[in-house]
């Protein structure tokens, strides 16, 4: 008789979990400690202390600057409502005293009732940004600064003020954001009703102006309406999808001495030019974009077969561009001086629905830009790199932009601003303390799972408190290296508010 081997199937060890004894030596979410100390060493916490409004009687018991920082840590740790501040309280061993969710809710209400309060916080972030950018060389004279703008739809499932139906038949809000491509940080995030237009000129120009205000003064200088191009130390490029293909937006960028690169929408003239392409068209092989995620090592065969050609000199288009003044109305169609038109084509993907001017199995994309020195290939590659904005918006949504916890617009606007501040602090932390590691450009979900949620035991030795990380935790070296880099940072200097 054949003997059958008995295998014990078990995913656990015989451990009792119903014990009554507890210990205060283990700190949950100890991995948030390096991010909190990094914020302190930048001087952000001290700057917040003088900028956060307080409308209560007497002197606040809880430091409002520290409370705001703890709220931003909560967003980075995965919280999406005020009561989630309790999760940060479990890390008080490395974060200090954390206020209650009720106090946090009152602080947001004070923000909503105090005009200009979020602008004061933006001023603190702008001053810190000046130092961070100087250390990384992003604001060096002569360097191009690229801004990406985009809007995103966020759903809500309850009645909230300004929650409206959108053009995709959903219901919720339609915030718009401006990012710095060099770091991925959010320069400005604006809360908008759900029925706000995707190509509303006032909103797009407004978010660009807010992004310019957030830049270091040396970079933003001479990038305002009526600016003198010769006085600018840096070239600023704004990229957008087809929402930016409006004459008003492009002329407003031209008035601000800001270059633009947008995805064009088809019209009668552009469609006729595309339909006239033949074998004699001077197509060139497209360049691959930098730092754009492609699965399976560039397995997108259709994208690798893409071709580019510039059609600015086509007689049907050349009459649109010239030394003309700003259009008087929508019927007066012409682009700002120096505008160039580039067409990209790539093979239709299998199963893709063919549009009217997708000819001979090719899909065409129009790019409108006023960059003077780049070739058509470089313009196409720059616009392809606008895909970075999608990754940044994913990060915003993961940090709280996907859920608005308040019924009124005033507090939801404060929440939107907080999401932008939290995202920016996390990006600086990654680029400064996690540079050269797998976490330098990691998404919040990975940061939480591998770093922020790491527990630790605190032990006092030689009058210093040390964290003892779990021995078998694979990402301990990254936490230790972040701590070593923190030791080399200069102490925070007082901010001028």
pLDDT value for 388: 94
- pLDDT tens per residue across span 86-141: 999 888 889 988 999 999 999 999 999 999 999 999 999 999 999 999 999 999 99
The torsion region of residue 162 among left (phi > 0), alpha (psi -120 to 50) and beta comes to left
State the sign of the Cα–Cα–Cα–Cα dihedral 105, 128, 179, 294: negative
- pLDDT tens per residue across span 195-231: 998 889 999 999 999 999 999 999 999 998 888 888 8
- 268: exposed, middle or buried (Cβ count in 10 Å: 0-12, 13-18, 19+): exposed
pTM for the complete prediction? Answer: 0.91
> Is 288 a residue whose pLDDT tops 80?
yes
Q: Which residues pair with 377 in a beta bridge?
A: none
> Is 303 a residue whose pLDDT tops 70?
no
pLDDT value for 295: 44
Q: What is the mean pLDDT of residues 166-179?
A: 92
- pLDDT tens per residue across span 421-445: 999 999 999 999 999 999 999 999 9
- CATH assignment of 117-394? 3.90.350
- pLDDT tens per residue across span 352-383: 666 655 666 788 899 999 999 899 999 999 99
Contact between 216 and 236 (Cβ < 8 Å): no
pLDDT value for 461: 83
pLDDT value for 31: 93
> Is 5 a residue whose pLDDT tops 80?
no
Contact between 76 and 425 (Cβ < 8 Å): yes
Report percent pLDDT > 70 for the chain.
Answer: 90
Label residue 265 by pLDDT band (50, 70, 90).
confident
pLDDT value for 56: 87
Report percent pLDDT > 90 for the chain.
Answer: 62
Domain with CATH 3.90.350 in the chain: 117-394
| Stretch among 97-111, 302-316, 383-397 having the lowest mean pLDDT | 302-316
pLDDT value for 496: 47
pLDDT value for 497: 41
Average pLDDT, the chain: 88
Q: Measure the CA–CA gap between 415 and 184, rounded to whole angstroms.
A: 20
Contact between 124 and 48 (Cβ < 8 Å): yes
Local structure of 442: helix, strand or coil: coil
- Angle between helix axes 32-42 and 64-76 (nearest 10 degrees) is 140
Task: Write the CB contacts of 94 (distance below 8 Å, at least 6 apart in sequence).
Answer: 27, 30, 32, 33, 36, 456, 458, 467
In 73-163, at which residue ranges do the beta strands (DSSP E only) sit?
A: 145-151, 154-155
Q: Measure the CA–CA gap between 449 and 308, rounded to whole angstroms.
A: 42
Q: Measure the CA–CA gap between 133 and 215, rounded to whole angstroms.
A: 9
State the sign of the Cα–Cα–Cα–Cα dihedral 94, 100, 103, 108: positive
């Amino acid at each position: 008789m054949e003997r059958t081997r008995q295998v014990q199937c078990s995913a656990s060890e015989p451990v009792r979990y119903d014990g009554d004894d507890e210990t205060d030596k283990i700190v949950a979410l100890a991995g948030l400690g390096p991010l909190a100390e990094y914020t302190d060493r930048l001087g952000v916490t001290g700057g917040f202390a003088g900028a956060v409004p307080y409308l209560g009687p007497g002197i606040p018991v809880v430091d409002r600057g520290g409370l705001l920082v703890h709220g931003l840590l909560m967003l980075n740790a995965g919280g999406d409502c005020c009561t989630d501040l309790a999760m940060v309280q479990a890390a008080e061993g490395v974060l200090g005293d954390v206020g209650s969710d009720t106090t946090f809710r009152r602080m947001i209400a004070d923000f909503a009732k105090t005009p200009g309060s979020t602008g004061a916080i933006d001023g603190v972030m702008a001053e810190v940004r000046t130092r961070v950018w100087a250390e990384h060389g992003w604001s060096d004279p002569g360097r191009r600064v690229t801004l990406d703008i985009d809007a995103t739809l966020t759903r809500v499932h309850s009645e909230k003020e300004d929650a409206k139906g959108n053009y995709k038949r959903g219901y919720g809000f339609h915030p718009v954001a401006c990012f710095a491509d060099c770091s991925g940080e959010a320069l400005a995030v604006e809360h908008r009703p759900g029925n706000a237009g995707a190509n509303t000129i006032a909103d797009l120009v407004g978010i660009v102006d807010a992004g310019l205000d957030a830049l270091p003064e040396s970079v933003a200088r001479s990038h305002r309406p009526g600016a003198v191009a010769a006085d600018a130390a840096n070239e600023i490029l704004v990229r957008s999808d087809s929402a930016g293909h409006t004459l008003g937006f492009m002329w407003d960028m031209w008035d601000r001495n800001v270059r633009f690169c947008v995805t064009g929408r088809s019209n009668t003239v552009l469609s006729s030019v595309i339909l006239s392409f033949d074998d004699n068209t001077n197509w060139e092989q497209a360049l691959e974009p930098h730092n754009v995620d492609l699965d399976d090592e560039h397995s997108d065969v259709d994208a690798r077969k893409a071709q580019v050609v510039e059609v600015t000199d086509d007689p049907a288009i050349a009459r649109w561009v010239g030394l003309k003044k700003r259009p008087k109305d929508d019927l007066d169609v012409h682009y700002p001086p120096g505008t160039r038109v580039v067409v990209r084509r790539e093979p239709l993907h299998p199963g893709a629905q063919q549009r009217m001017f997708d000819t001979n199995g090719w899909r065409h994309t129009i790019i409108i830009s006023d960059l003077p020195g780049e070739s058509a290939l470089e313009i196409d590659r720059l616009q392809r790199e606008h895909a970075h904005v999608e990754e940044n918006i994913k990060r915003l949504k993961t940090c709280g932009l996907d859920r608005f916890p308040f019924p009124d617009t005033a507090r939801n606007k404060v929440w939107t601003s907080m999401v932008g501040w939290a995202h920016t602090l996390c990006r600086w932390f990654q680029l400064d303390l996690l540079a050269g590691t797998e976490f330098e450009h990691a998404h919040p979900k990975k940061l939480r799972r591998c770093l922020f949620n790491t527990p630790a035991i605190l032990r006092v030795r030689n009058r210093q408190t040390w964290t003892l990380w779990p021995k078998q935790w694979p990402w301990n070296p990254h936490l230790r290296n972040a701590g070593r880099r923190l030791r080399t940072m200069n102490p925070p200097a007082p901010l001028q508010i």
